[in-house]
Amino acid sequence: MSAAAQPRAEGEIISRTKSLVVSRCMDGEDPVYAFAGRCTATDPAFQNELDRIGDRIAADAGSPMLDLHSLEMANSAFVSLVAKLVAQLDRRGLRLVILNPDKRTRDLFAIVGFLDTLDIREE
């Protein structure tokens, strides 16, 4: 793995479930939320946790970035989280930055029509 593809330092863990860990660190003035594991559960408790994570990300100062380097799998629950963030950030004149998505996640964003809405970057 090249140095450019290395995941960020873990930072402060803001959520830990059976299948997903979300941590927060800073990149200058912008918060970076790293997702690790699987965002695939569909039970109400997991959805409530995703809603809480989304509210925290949307309320953060700066332009939030989601680092998906260690996200193994995502489903419609993750797409819903991204859609909610895009809408909330758009109202503030901000664009959601997605870092290091794998091909499956990038394809998922293409299927739901997010590619023109997101700022997708490889680091």
* Residue that has been written with the tokens 């332009």 in this structure: 63
112-121 contact pairs (CB < 8 A, 24+): 112/79, 112/83, 114/79, 114/82, 114/83, 114/86, 117/86, 118/82, 118/86, 119/95, 121/97
User: What are the structural domains of the chain?
Assistant: 10-121 (3.30.750.24)
60-75 pLDDT, tens digit each: 988 899 999 999 999 8
Model confidence at 121: pLDDT above 80: yes
For the entire predicted model, the pTM comes to 0.88
Give residue 119's pLDDT: 94
